[in-house]
Amino acid sequence: MNKYLNSRVILNPNETPKEWVNIIPNLPIPMTPLINPMDGKPASFELACKIFPKSCILQDSSIEESIPIPNELREIYVKTYRPTPLHRAYGLERKIGIKGEGIKIFYKNESLSPTGSHKPNTALAQAYYAQKEGVKELVTETGAGQWGSGLSFGCNLFNLKCTVYMVRASFLQKPGRKILMKAYNAEVYPSPSNLTESGRSYYEKDPEHPGSLGIAISEAVEHSLSDPNIKYSLGSVVNFVLLHQTIIGQELKIQFNKLHIKPDILIGCMGGGSNFGGFIIPYINDKINGVQSDLEVIGVEPRACPSVCKGQYIWDYGDSAKKAPILKMYTLGHNFIPSPIHAGGLRYHGMAPIISILHKKNIISSVMHHQTEAIAAGLAFAQAEGILPAPEACHAIKEAIDQALKAKDNNEKKVIAFNLSGHGFFDLSAYNDYLLDKLIDYELPDIEIHKALTADDMPKINETEF
């Protein structure tokens, strides 16, 4: 068969994975618990279930190596967009001058979901479990809106009400995602709002307050606690979200197996860590148990918010308002305010505990890129492959190109795969700014990070107590 007819590996619906891969039992050190910010002790099962759907909480600390994807949920995955294709980046390889060098670049295309990113992988799962448990409504926060639209999509398909607290600055500046959420029947409020106590404390002083993700999280958590029929939903960071995302890496494995190819380098961008985690986890066991111990796994961060590259592996609050659980993770400090880069999904101060452990134990590595070099790489990708990538995904593309060029220099034949986590149709201003030479590269003074990490209000957790 002509090679191009193999350039997009498409799976049949019945090849959609039947289970998620749980990395927790194979982690080199035990998973740390979620800590209740009110008392500094591990959150009780009962407390956690007040906030999240019970099935998700059970998954969050499960020690089973795999967890079945319920058939009804799998049907919805299939009906809407899964499996997604694996593309060979022939165009990009030619454009960067590595054609004929024996270096292969592949990308998994998560941009084809109805909301344009990997977020529905967990949104559908969370909405499914919530509905099964009789929950009537899911509430969440959103910054730029990628997660909010994913959850709105998921709730709508499972007949749940969805409420989204959207950072007011984004609510006003980025109407597109807000309209999309409303089209999916969600209620979207600019945050800080006057609907919650957390919001009112800001709103009453300034009804035009631009808001922050920290405030929006506080509002959503408070909203969820107001009624037992309402649960809170998270789009990244926690274990069960990464679990749901492993459908990506599971498919990737099937696709590479069909090509009789093993990837040498896996690359993904890291914000809270969910697309990266979902992409790599099914391969991590192979690396840990020695089946493929030389596999390189690289997480890419923006220089404006390098949680892993420049943060510390410590206990920290999940949000700036200190209402969400305390996690042991790489963090820049919950008071850290990242610069306004276009990759809104990469602006979280912390990193998923699972990813943090893998990094701490040197199973994965991390790099940083400036947004200008990331968007430049994304533009080269768009021109070579035809797909306009989200600014977040541009960071992975930049690293994939760098790795390919390095392999060429070293005369090595590498197979490089990265996760195209989403498309850039809602982020055209990033490309416009780049084309007009108006993108700003934010570099962080180490002093700022130090200040955030040593703030007086960092949590004091005594691990020996649990």
Binding mask 395-434 for a copy of itself (x = CB under 8 A): ------------------------------xx-xx-xx--
| Min CB(175)–a copy of itself separation in Å | 7
For residue 91, state whether it binds a copy of itself (rule: CB under 8 A): yes
For residue 147, state whether it binds a copy of itself (rule: CB under 8 A): no
Binding mask 290-329 for a copy of itself (x = CB under 8 A): ----------------------------------------
d(CA 434, CA 345): 19
For residue 437, state whether it binds a copy of itself (rule: CB under 8 A): no
Start-to-end Cα distance in the chain:
59
- Contact, 272 vs 350, CB < 8 A? yes
Binding mask 178-217 for a copy of itself (x = CB under 8 A): -xx-xxxx--------------------------------
For residue 176, state whether it binds a copy of itself (rule: CB under 8 A): yes
Give residues 378-397 in contact with a copy of itself (rule: CB under 8 A): 379, 382-383, 385-388
| Min CB(435)–a copy of itself separation in Å | 6
Q: Which of 64, 65, 75, 457 binds a copy of itself (CB under 8 A)?
A: 75
Q: Which is nearer to a copy of itself, 89 or 221 (CB)?
A: 89
Name, in order, each residue with C-beta under 8 angstroms of 293's C-beta and a sequence gap of 6 or more.
287
Binding mask 359-378 for a copy of itself (x = CB under 8 A): --------------------
| Min CB(163)–a copy of itself separation in Å | 16
Biggest CA-to-CA distance, the chain: 67
List contacts with a copy of itself (CB under 8 A): 1-2, 4-8, 10, 12-14, 16, 71, 75-76, 78-80, 87, 90-91, 112, 114, 116, 153, 156-157, 175-176, 179-180, 182-185, 379, 382-383, 385-388, 425-426, 428-429, 431-432, 435
